Structure 1
Amino acid sequence: MTTPVKSDIDYISQVAMGWVVAMAAFLVFQIGDLYDSLSAQASILIILTPMTLAGSMAMAKIRIIGTALGCIAGMAVQLILGSWFGYGLLFWLAFTIAMGPFCLWLTKGQVKAAIAFSAMSALSVPLTTSLVPEQKDAFFSILYRFSSIFVAVLLTAMVMWVVHHWIRVMLLKHPEVKNVELN
């Protein structure tokens, strides 16, 4: 099986799309002073890694599904423990049991491993950073994590679609590109 050869236009459009989306995300996060949404900014870079529109859309779907599953598991741990989440051994046991299915998915192929990675980060970060036994639960931190990642990934996917089609239209209108395609 051979790998299809990409044209110069494909390489140019992929690099341009990646650069435009990454810079737009950087500017939004700097101007908006969104320092507490680092996971959302990391999600933008994660979905940019395939460098194609189709690959990035697939990664966006995987990231949203994994984050949702991890947040649901985190809420389940907190709801099941109830007022007992201050007991370290019970918390550790519930956390380990919640991580179990995601650890299994890491061995089941690339897509399930990617979903598991997103789920494990969504489960572990709020429960290990914002949960304070006997003082503060992680419910709103979990909701904030899901909503910030969901909004960032959704907006990035839309920007990528617009930039991809804009680049294609602009490149196809350029006279030098028409000559390259004909040769």
Structure 2
Amino acid sequence: MMFIKRLFSSSRAAGAPSTPLATQMSEQESRRLLRIAFGCCIGFTISKVMNWPYGVFFTVYPILLLGMVPVFNALIAWQFVGSVLINIVEIFVLRSLFEHSALLMTLGVFALFAVHFRFMARSSHFLMWTMGVVSISVMLHFSSYPGASLSDMAMATALATLIAIISAAVLYWLIPDKAPVNLPTPPALSSAQINHRMLMGAVLATLSFVVFQILDLQDSLSAQVATVLVLFPMTLQGTVSSALNRAKGVALGCAIGISAQFLLYDLIQFLPLVVLTLFATVLITARLHLVERAGSGMGFGALTTIGILFGQYLQPNADILYSSMYRLSSVVVALAILLIAAFWLDKLLDKFALTRNV
């Protein structure tokens, strides 16, 4: 289970030689590739057939569950469910108590992020707390706008989680692993390192939330999610590496998404063709993710980009070209600003013994 935590840790020490990208997948990885592609398409298809809102949750959640985690068992399923239940309670409490005060809301958001990142730094239930960070940031931000219903968003999140878990269980039954997965042992952290990681994640995630609220960026889901995902290493070096990979992955994912738009052209109203196109694009990006063997690398960024583009923007009356270009530019700008803030925050925290990352 601690393998998930290592996915978002720094990939290599500064100055260490890079490892050439593999070109072949093992049989185990080929099976995982099929599970990711089928799981993503199942969630996407159900949301479109049922005409449910927030289709991005139904498309991306299977990617996170099957792409981030190399195994599936009851513990992982309960963590996925637990993250949703905890988030719904947290968000409704925040909205009920602090909605009238921007200052109190900001302090409440920081407190929740601090709790989540602290458990991420020291707990084995890493998946539950990482999913919570993303959900808090997205649901609180987008439910604050007129016309958005927090109840609808919470229901969509719960349904997407349930479908992702059921489809994952079925896919692991139909396409099982042939051998057990070896999980690496995470490094032990001192109290100061845990404090450092908690504050790095909580401060920067809160800063991201506040900036997106102040600037009224309700069309920048991709950029907001990106600024949260790159924080999961909880160190400056890991965040820089994750941000660079994320930017390259977004660029690749947008290019593939635009190609899919041109390929479909005016056939986008035919759902079977859209699902086949999604399946093909997920196969391409998921394969890159798996052969990188780097966890949150360029392939994972491209894979989640495809999920967001298809789930949120690819519709008969929408133009994915503009959405792709806006997504790429907003992600690059948001990550650049985040890295500047991360650099100065890391230097500040290293000045104190209780938060020094050594």
Please say whether Structure 1 and Structure 2 have the same fold, judged by a TM-score greater than 0.5: yes
Equivalence for 1:29: 212
Q: Counterpart of 1:111 in 2: which secondary structure? A: coil
Q: Which runs of 5+ in 2 are unaligned?
A: 1-184
1:90 CA displacement: 3.6
Q: Structure 1 residues 55, 82: closer, same or farther in 2, change over 3 A?
A: same
1:136 to 309, 315, 318: 318
Moved more, 14-23 or 137-146: 14-23
Equivalence for 1:174: none
Equivalence for 1:150: 332
1:38 CA displacement: 2.8
Q: TM-score, normalised by structure 1?
A: 0.76
After TM superposition, the structure 1 = structure 2 runs for residues 1-183 of structure 1, keeping only pairs within 5 Å, are 8-111=191-294, 114-133=297-316, 135-169=317-351, 171=352, 177=353
In 2: Cα distance, 1:94 partner to 1:6 partner: 44
**Alignment identity in percent?**
29
Q: Which runs of 5+ in 1 are unaligned?
A: 172-176
Higher relative contact order (CA 8 A, sep 6+): 1
Contact 2:253 2:306 in 1 (8 A): yes
Q: TM-score, normalised by structure 2?
A: 0.42
Moved more, 37-46 or 109-118: 109-118
Contact 1:37 1:148 in 2 (8 A): yes
1:58 CA displacement: 1.2
Which of the two has higher C-alpha Rg?
Answer: 1
Q: Structure 1 residues 28, 113: closer, same or farther in 2, change over 3 A?
A: closer
Contact 2:222 2:327 in 1 (8 A): yes
Contact 1:122 1:145 in 2 (8 A): no
Could you tell me which amino acid in structure 1 is paired with residue 318 of structure 2? Answer: K
1:32 CA displacement: 2.0
Contact 2:292 2:299 in 1 (8 A): no
